[in-house]
Amino acid sequence: MDNNLYNNIYKATLTDLEFKQLSQFIQSNYGIKMPPIKKVVLQGRLHKRLKHLAIPDFKTYIEYVFSREGENEIIHMMDVVSTNKTDFYREPVHFEFLETELLPQLFKLHGRGTFKVWSAGCSSGEEPYTLAIVLQEFKEKNPGFDYQVLATDISTQMLQTGANAVYKEEKISIIPLSIKKKYFLRSKDHNDPRVRVVKTLRDKVSFQRLNFMDNTYQVNDQFDIIFCRNALIYFERENQEMVINKLCQKLKPEGFFLLGHSESITNMNVPLKSIKPTIFKKT
C-alpha cells in the first residue's frame, strides 16, 4: 500500500453523524451498545478495516458497508467491533459447580445418554474447551455418560480460532499439569510456544455462527446447560431479557443457565430461578 494512503488512514476520524450511522446499525442488528463515549474505540478498531480495504476515509467505508457489494464487510466489521476477552477456566467457581453438583445431579436424573451444553458467546473457544475438559473427565468416571458442546459467536475470526484450537502456551499456564498433559499437544517451536487441544475434545465441540439478535436461533437441540457469560453485558437490558428468553426456549425443563459474575436477571421476566449467584434453573 502506498505510504501516504497508509498514514492518512490512521488519521481518518469518524464524524458524529458517521458514528451515529454505524452505532445505530450495530446496536439494532447485533445488540452491542455503542454510546457516544465509544466513538474513539470504534474509530480505532475500524482503522484496521480501512487499512485492509485500502479505503482512505470513513465516509467511503460507510458507503461501502451499506452497499450491495459491501454486504460481506459487515461480518468483518463485527469481527473488530466485538470484545472477545476470555480465558480457560474463567470464573472457575462455575466449572467446580458443574463438576461437583450439576453433572452428578443431572446424570442421576437422566441416566445414560448424550448430555448437551451450549457455550453461547464462546469467543475464541477457551470456554467451550474448558467445558469439554470437565465433561470428558466426568465421562471417564461415569460409564454411560456422553456429551456434546455447541459453541456459538457472532465473530467469524473468533470461531475460526476456536475451531483451530491452537493457543499460546501461556494461555494454559493456570491449568493443572496433569490436565495440560492429557488435553493439550505442545508445538516444537520454542520461539513461539503454542498448544493445540487434543482431537478427543475437538471432536466434541462444534462451532457455529449465531447472532443473539436473530429472530429465531438455528439450533436444533435442547440443552441441559447453557453458559452465556460476559456476552450480554454489552447489551441494553431489554435486549438482554429478550435474548435470555430465546436461549431458555432451547433449555430442557430443569436445565441450568449460567451468566457471568457481573451479570444478573433481577427484575427480568425470564423462566429462571436462582440457585446460587449467576447460576439459574429453568422453571
Ligand X SMILES: C[S@@+](CC[C@H](N)C(=O)[O-])C[C@H]1O[C@@H](n2cnc3c(N)ncnc32)[C@H](O)[C@@H]1O
Residues contributing to the site for ligand X (CB under 6 A): 30-32, 82-86, 90, 121-123, 127, 153-155, 158, 210-213, 229-231, 260
Q: How far is the CB of 158 from ligand X (least distance, A)?
A: 5
Q: How far is the CB of 283 from ligand X (least distance, A)?
A: 24
Contact present, 209 and 156 (Cβ < 8 Å):
yes
Q: Which is nearer to ligand X, 145 or 155 (CB)?
A: 155
Residue-by-residue DSSP string for 66-118: TSSTTTTHHHHHHHHHS-----TTSSHHHHHHIIIIIHHHHHHHH-SEEEEEE
Burial class (CB in 10 A: 0-12, 13-18, 19+), 9: buried
Q: Which is nearer to ligand X, 65 or 231 (CB)?
A: 231
Beta strand ranges found along 217-260 (DSSP E): 223-228, 251-259
Q: How far is the CB of 262 from ligand X (least distance, A)?
A: 10
Q: How far is the CB of 272 from ligand X (least distance, A)?
A: 18
Q: Which is nearer to ligand X, 12 or 150 (CB)?
A: 150
Q: In whole angstroms, give the CA distance from residue 248 to residue 276.
A: 18
Q: Which is nearer to ligand X, 9 or 151 (CB)?
A: 151
Q: Which is nearer to ligand X, 73 or 153 (CB)?
A: 153
Q: Is the dihedral of CA 233, 236, 241, 243 positive or negative?
A: negative
Q: In whole angstroms, give the CA distance from residue 150 to residue 227.
A: 10
Contact present, 197 and 162 (Cβ < 8 Å):
no
Q: How far is the CB of 245 from ligand X (least distance, A)?
A: 15
